[in-house]
Each structure stands twice: as C-alpha cells, then as structure tokens.
Structure 1
Amino acid sequence: MNRPGLILLLVASISGCESTPLSRSVGAPIVDGERETGERAVVLIQAVIGACTGTLITDRVVLTAKHCVQQQSAMSPAPPSFFSVGVGDRAGATTNHRVQQVVTTPGRFFIGDGTDIALLILREPVEGVEPITVRREVPTDLVGSTVTAIGFGTTREREVGIKYRTTATIENVTATVLEARDTICQGDSGGPIILEGDGTRPRQIVGVASYGLAANQGDCPAMLDAWNRVDTYLGLIDAAIVRSGACVATGEELCNSIDDDCDGETDEGCLALGEACERDDQCAFGRGAPRRRASERAVRRRGGDAPMHAPVRSALARRELQRDRAALRRRCDRGRWLLLRHERGLRGPLRPGVGGLGLAG
C-alpha cells in the first residue's frame, strides 16, 4: 500500500563506513512466495486511503493494521463507509462486504510503537469461510519457529493485489513486534503471520504485518520485517468480537456466569442459583461464604472464640454486605467489561463512580 505521508527515513551510522539510508515503509506483498488461490479468511481491504490485507477472525470481524484505517496525523480512524472487505484471491474478482464499525487503539500512532492494530466489524456475516483465531499466549517462545505469511502486496515482479503466501522464521520478539526477514512489501500491511497447527492446537494468528526496513524506499522485500504482536491487545480484539455479537472462547467453563467455552451453555456443572457454595470455584465470581470468613476474622481480632453479641454481629454483617454489593457492582460480566475497556480508549480512563464504574471525560 503506497502512502507517501507514512514513510519514515532512518539513517544507520556504521563505524568506518558511509552512512546507509534506510526506509521504514508502513505499507508493508509477500515476496518470493507462491500464488494462494484459497485461504479465504485472508481478505483484501480496499479503502479511499489505500489497499491492505486483513484476516477474518470471526465471521464478522476482520483483523488488520491501524495504519490501514487511520492517517498517522489523525486522532481517529476513517469512517466505515471508506472501507470494503473483499473475499477472494485477487483485486477485481472479490466478493465485497460493507463495514459497520472500525475499532482501533486510541489517538495518534507512530509506526513501531506497538499500537498498529485495528479491527473492522462487518455489516453481515461472511458465509462459507473458516475464520482463523488469534493466539492468546505471549509469543516469546516462537523465536526460531516457522510461520506462514499471506498478503495481497507487491511482488518482486511488481504485481499488486494478488494473494501470495510464503514462510518465514521468527528471529526476534520484542515488547511490540515479531521480526523476520525478506518477506513483506507494500500492500501486505495488516496481513497475518500464522503459526500452523500441530495436531494439539489449531492454526493461529500471532502477528499483523506492520512495517519493513529496506535499504531504499520502495525496495522489496524488506531487509527486516515487523509484525505487530496481537497478544498485547486481546482486550481490544475481544471487545470487537463481543460487539459483533459473537462469543469469546477463553478456555474451559468456569463458574463465573460467562459462557467461557462458547458452547451455548453457561456455568454447566456449577451449583444452581441459591445453593450454598462449599468452594470458591463452585460459585459465580468465586465468592464462597464471604460473611462467615469475615466473622471468623472478627472473632480472632477480638482475641478468641467467644460468641459475639448480637449488635456486633449485625454491624459486621452490614459492613460485609456493603462490601459485597460494592464489589459486585464493580465486577461486570466479560462482555460489558470489555466494552468499557474499549470505551476507556475513546473517552478517557475508567474510574470508580457513584454506584460502580464510571467513565471519566
């Protein structure tokens, strides 16, 4: 994706050598790869501000890069009407879908700062396409691993808008990006690197194509490729999934009033409403018999096991009840909490408000 306003020039001073200019291109095709006619979850994002690559992570949510949806000098992304998501293997031959909402990290950004993540929520589900999920674990264990890169970017033969794939080796993982070499070019921005499944886990996205370093502006492939980490923005990604109406599978089912495994049932195997909890993991929010524990602590503070007078028990119960109610007001279900976290990025920090959580700003 060619966007001259987002080209940053770096100069590397090498001792005893002439300074060599480097170009950091934010329009980071898959170079020297093979033609990809399948992999329908990897889509072409067409916009007024350029073309990029993205990936369907649910039937309505596309993961891409922030610089694909927002100019660097802008405080917010372009409106949804600016974008179209095409399912297919080449520009001009895709089935296009309209965008309902653009979700990204708040404020301005600088390429390389680790905030190059965005999501497009589509108006309608994409049918007949198997989404690719994101990996939730920290990727520091992936150094030396082989991953698959897919994109619609410019090839060495200067083809543009045709889907290619290749493999790369993760050489380094920083706090913000995963690094490899000789892979991406303009138009691959927002495309995935995929850790293929091994029989014990599914294939998963571990990064989003962000930028490349090249000796000269426009050179392909880049000498150093960088994919923005996805594990650092799981809250943002989950919030977009919840907004689309989908479920976020976070693991095995827990007794927390949430459908953790996305099987359509909530808290299966847990105690029914009103039954007494014997262990923390049997009750929603893990609140097993809090008043009894508080009373026992109060007895110990008084110096023994002597029975308390009724007024003392009543006061302790009232205080414990007040704390319980305040805690429950602050503990929302996962969907509402994720949405509040997203709103924090748009409207200001979360702060305790009257009756629970409030939004500042």
Structure 2
Amino acid sequence: MKIWSPLFLALLAHACGESTASSDLDIVAGRADQTWGSSVVLVSDTALGSCTGTALTSRHVLTAAHCVQGGTGKPYVNIYGPGQALPQKNSLAVLKFDLPAGIDASRLDFQADDQRFADLAVLTLAEPLPTSIKPLPLASSYPGRGATVLAVGTGEHDRTLNAGAEMRSRSARTYSTSDSSGSIVMAAAYTNKGDSGGPIVFRGSDGRWQQLGILNGTVEYQQNILDRYTSVHEARNRLWIQKIISAR
C-alpha cells in the first residue's frame, strides 16, 4: 500500500480499541511508511495503551475520546527525528482536551447529547507543532458505500508491540451508505490495538487528501466484525471540531 503524508500522530492514552481482525487483514499487514522522517509526532501519556491522531492545526490534534477520557496522566507530544527516531528531549505539552457534550467513554457511551455518534477529542497544545507537520483537512463530502479509502494507524504489528510507533496503512472500503448518524462502518476490520483515533482518508474532487473519519474500534454486524469510524465530515461533528479549533 502507498504511504502518503506527514500528518499523523500516535497517542499514548488510557484505552484504545482492540480489533478482533485476523493478522492478515489489519493495518499491521500494511506497508510501513519510510517517508515520515521528522514529520510525525508521538503524543505520550502515563496511562495505558496507545492511540493514533492527526493534526488539525498547528495547535490542535484530533483523536478518539476513549483514548483520553479517564487517563491518569497528562499527554505531551514527542517530535520524531530523522529515520523515525524519537528524540529524548523534544516534546510539546497538551494544555487540555475537549469532548462533545454527552460523551462518556468510561461507559463506552459515544452518543452526544443530540444523539449523533461522536467518539472525538480535540487536544490543544501549549505551543505550535513544527512546520513540518501539515494539518489534514476535514472531508468536504462523503464518498458513499464501497468507496476506497486509506486506513492509517500506529497499532500493534502482527500482534506484537509496536514500540517505535511505526506508521502503517492499507486500503479499505466503506460499507455505510451515509454518515448522517455520525459513524462510518467499513466493509471489513483492518485495525489493531493502538490504531484508535487514526484516520481514514481519501482524495477529494480537488485531488487533495482529506480526513473522512477517525477510528472508534470494531462493531459486530450480521455476524461479521467491522471497523467503525466517527465521521468528521458529518455536519454536527464537523461544526463541533471547527468550533473548538476556532476558540480563542
């Protein structure tokens, strides 16, 4: 699979979704990205597990609510060095994180007050990300059922610890005909522990990569285990994200 852009972050946090997908189908079977260099950051916490996230602006990172709500530590951002190394002393503090009203990840309740699906969290950083990290635009349209997208994550590799937070990706297909509920179900399960909060992306009509959703975990549907994402294109989720990153 093609690895494509320096826009992702790994988030070490309290709890992240585990997939029951077989190891020959999940992101860990994807191809490692050798192009990140110093363009990827790792967001760390003293809580358990690991998650993935994306840059929204130079001061904001998007991930899943269940990755941060209930964590015991305060996240911080580590900047990758050349060759995907993680320098010991190169970090940015996280001032706060925001969740949609009504979300209670501790009870696995991802329905916001208006009943939309919204497993979302926006982290506000104490200082800007380096200029090498380019924000990933939110999708301006939903491509429909059967669309080919790219799933990206930093989870376990072939069921083994991903100590270096290596990025992997692979193509996937959407199953949902619409994202109006706030969620997007995929046609299969490709993710693994640590991929939560990671994006699915596709090229819009203008040719640019756009972020369509972020991983919540897996869901059982007609006796199949499928990946489920929170849509960041859905109008209410998109408006909430834009409100948070626009706040002064």
Same fold (TM over 0.5): yes
Q: Which amino acid aligns with 1:36?
A: D
SS at match of 1:31: helix
1:1-361 correspondence runs (5 A) = 30-39=27-36, 43-50=41-48, 51-71=50-70, 82-88=74-80, 92-93=86-87, 95-107=90-102, 108-109=104-105, 110=108, 113=111, 114-127=117-130, 128-137=132-141, 139=142, 141-160=143-162, 161-172=165-176, 173-174=178-179, 175-180=181-186, 181-197=188-204, 200-213=206-219, 223-230=225-232, 231=234, 232-243=236-247
Aligned length: 209
C-alpha RMSD over aligned residues: 3.2
Please report how far the alpha carbon of residue 202 of structure 1 lies from its aligned counterpart in structure 2 after TM superposition: 2.0
Contact kept, 8 Å, 2:76 with 2:93, in 1: the verdict is yes
**Bigger relative contact order, structure 1 or 2, given CA contacts below 8 A and separation 6+?**
2
Report the counterpart of residue 340 of structure 1 in structure 2. none
1:7 is displaced (CA, Å) by: 7.7
Instruction: Go from structure 1 to structure 2 and tell me whether the alpha carbon gap of 1:31 and 1:43 turns closer, same or farther (over 3 Å shift).
Output: same
One-letter amino acid of the structure 2 residue matched with residue 211 of structure 1: G
Indicate if the aligned counterparts of 2:13 and 2:67 stay in contact, CA closer than 8 A.
no
Query: Contact 2:95–2:126 at 8 Å: present in 1 too?
Result: yes
Q: Against the structure 1 CA distance between its residues 176 and 162, is the aligned structure 2 distance closer, same or farther, given a 3 Å change threshold?
A: same
Kept in 2: contact 1:85–1:96 (CA 8 A): yes
Q: Quick check: 2:95–2:123 contact (8 Å CA) kept in 1?
A: yes
Residues 41, 102 of structure 1: CA spacing in aligned structure 2 closer, same or farther, 3 A cutoff?
A: farther
Which one has a bigger Cα radius of gyration? 1
Structure 1 residue 43 displacement after superposition: 4.2
The letter of the residue matching 2:33 is: E
CA displacement, residues 222-260 of structure 1 (integer Å, 9 cap, x when unaligned): 9311111112312221122113x6xxxxxxxxxxxxxxx
Q: Percent identity, aligned pairs only?
A: 25
Please, which runs of 5 or more residues in structure 2 have no aligned partner?
A: 1-11, 112-116
Shift of 1:49: 2.2
Given that 2:13 and 2:68 are in contact with CA atoms closer than 8 Å, whether structure 1 keeps it comes out as no
1:204/1:159 Cα in 2 relative to 1: closer, same or farther (>3 Å)? same
TM-score (norm 1): 0.51
Distance 1:48 1:136, change over 3 A: farther
Q: Which amino acid aligns with 1:46?
A: S
Unaligned runs of 5+ in 1: 9-21, 72-77, 215-221, 246-361
- Compute the displacement of 1:41 (Å): 6.5
Contact kept in structure 1, 2:17 and 2:218, CA below 8 Å: no
Q: Which has the higher helix share?
A: 1
Provide the TM-score with structure 2 as the length reference.
0.71
Q: Residue 43 and residue 116 in structure 1: after superposition, are their counterparts in 2 closer, same or farther (change >3 A)? A: farther
